[in-house]
Structure 1
């Protein structure tokens, strides 16, 4: 599996006082865990397993999970997740579809296991220190093979007559290979007489989604997108099918004849690096000088920030007082997900996560990205908004916090980019005895653990775990 090598901490210039308000982020996530979520989340009830993962993992990254919860509460969360375990393998996305004793052949199609929910359920169990021994591993892995279509793509749920339903893009391939990685490591072929997924067909699907400019798209001939690119790269990492040389670039890699993804690694890296942008909101798309000469001194990227009256924050202004400036120096840069789009907090994660897994985070301007996250989208009450001025939400708050962890922010745990949670949680997974036996008496997991260590609710009636 891909490594997350130690990257140098972001080098800050003297006087840079952009800071992560650790205490407010802790308070934000504690409120999300212990109180009702705003009523806007009611429509996301079917994604409650995912929301639960964001909350638990964020508190873990902040080093506050043990302080914020008691052992009894954590065991209660574990029991809630197992309550969502599906009788035929996998996990439900939320408990509302559980018919219990009323389940029968006629209504069971309304109560499917869900591929993304299964991935997030397993991740959350690991975060809570569970050993996964209550997971129906054989049933889950057998169900997973049924979730793969003949073309190699994965869907979301099983419908009537075993029909695979849902999307077929790399998001589901990522979650499916993540489930496989957690429950059987990177071993290919049958395990305990349970068949494997068709790895080559999935890799071929990813290759078919590669675009002319190096990114990964939703489907063949579609536009490249940072989210699909992250999912594809992470899936290839889980399968050990990244290009040879990615894991340890300084060491020669032995040749093998296995099909691998990313046919042009340098082009993919160029596309990812090109996602960094100084266009941070809609107004940045216009030239504030009304000058269309197009020179470096008049292009909107050189001066567009003067329009953001409410941004930068006071802290952001202090960070640049007394510092040398020029018309080409960019103070804040975010990441976009597609060409010619505005920056968005979540894309900082998709891009940085991809680069971390490829061991190439150094090719972007980490200092300017850090300032964007802390000065522009970090919210006063904690969490991160989607764009400057937006309120925080669980999705962007978690991905923003995770990006800060990848940038080695002080006070946050080190981060495993592909698994999307802390390296400490990843190391717990690698120590599980039943899993060590699957991967070969623990040898494979010891290597993976060593590599990971290198980088060292609803307003109406319930909370996320209610």
Structure 2
């Protein structure tokens, strides 16, 4: 051990109590420090490797329930597509076999509330002479919530548009929640999907595989 070099004194640094020393670094000590650092890095790598593939099911389920109960702040801009987020959360909980939602008895009330919420997003439109049915992405239009199932064909109180992707999410999520789709008019749904199919050129009468997301484009 050696004293702190004199050139560090009087440089505006606080004077330490007692004698301050610095350790001389010999090649042997440097090699030992390097070996110690390598051992620490290996321990961290081994820990990461041992945790690889482990899945914290309860923690993931809690996050999904949290996301269902309210839109997390980072996703507030997706309010118009809230049904999509609900779809992914519910499908994930189904894969996890989450008892809070999918237990036959314990999850019944929660499932029924979710089913009613989805049906409140149902939209019926007149496009020309054709009635189409589908779903919109969320309650952003301010429609009042109805705690009873509306009859098929009931128009929304606030004008909105059938959305193709939201209709897909709604139907699949309803089935996952155990709904029998008895409140859906299958023919009007099909008319809605058909009405969103694009023509190659205006008026050529040829239907192709691409679709508009909603009637407005």
Q: What TM-score do you get using the length of structure 2 for normalisation? A: 0.58
| Residues 265-284 of structure 1 mapped to structure 2, 5 A cutoff | none
Distance (whole Å) between structure 2 residues aligned to residue 66 and residue 97 of structure 1: 30
**Among 65, 78, 81, which residue is 2:118 paired with?**
81
The answer to whether 1:23 aligns with 2:23 is no
For residues 103 and 90 of structure 1, do their structure 2 counterparts lie closer, same or farther at Cα, with a shift above 3 Å needed? closer
Q: Kindly tell me: are residues 37 and 102 of structure 1, through their superposed partners in 2, closer, same or farther at Cα, counting changes over 3 Å?
A: closer
RMSD: 2.7
Matched, 1:112 2:149: no
Distance (Å, rounded) in 2 between the aligned partners of 1:98 and 1:138: 27
Does the C-alpha gap of structure 1 residues 69 and 85 become closer, same or farther in structure 2, counting only changes over 3 Å?
farther
C-alpha change, 1:53 and 1:69, in structure 2 (3 Å) is farther
Q: Unaligned regions of 5+ residues in structure 1, if any? A: 1-14, 160-164, 166-466
Report the secondary structure of 1:125's partner residue. helix
Long gaps (5+) in structure 2: 1-48, 126-132, 145-153, 201-207
8 Å contact kept, 2:124–2:155: no
Q: Which has the larger share of strand?
A: 2
Match of 1:417 in 2: none
Q: Which aligned segments of 4 or more residues in structure 1 are displaced greater than 4 angstroms?
A: 98-104
2:105 matched to 1:66?
A: no
Change (3 A) 1:70 1:78: same
Query: Which of 38, 42, 46 is the aligned partner of 2:80?
Result: 46
Aligned with 1:157: secondary structure? coil
Measure how far apart 1:102 and its partner are.
Answer: 9.7
Query: Whose Rg is larger?
Result: 2
The 1:69/1:58 distance shift into structure 2, 3 A limit, reads: farther
Alpha-carbon distance in structure 1 between the residues aligned to 2:51 and 2:140: 47
Q: 1:98 to 1:155 in 2, by over 3 A?
A: farther
CA separation of 1:30/1:102 partners in 2, compared to 1, >3 Å: closer, same or farther? Answer: closer
1:280-312 CA-to-partner distances (Å, cap 9, x unmatched) read xxxxxxxxxxxxxxxxxxxxxxxxxxxxxxxxx
What does residue 382 of structure 1 align with? none
Deviation (angstroms), 1:17: 5.0
Distance 1:97 1:27 in 2: 29
Q: TM-score, normalised by structure 1?
A: 0.28
User: Which of 183, 187, 195 pairs up with 1:146?
Assistant: 195
Q: Out of 152, 160, 175, which is 1:126 matched to?
A: 175
Change (3 A) 1:45 1:62: same
Residue 212 of structure 2, aligned match among 149, 152, 155: 155
2:140 pairs, out of 96, 107, 130, with 96
Instruction: Classify the secondary structure of the residue corresponding to 2:162.
Output: coil
Equivalents in 2 of 1:31, 1:23: separation in Å? 12
Aligned residues: 141
Structure of greater relative contact order (alpha carbons < 8 Å, 6+ residues apart): 1
Secondary structure class of the residue paired with 1:87: strand
Q: SS at the partner of 1:93?
A: coil
Q: Distance in 1 between matches of 2:165 and 2:58?
A: 31
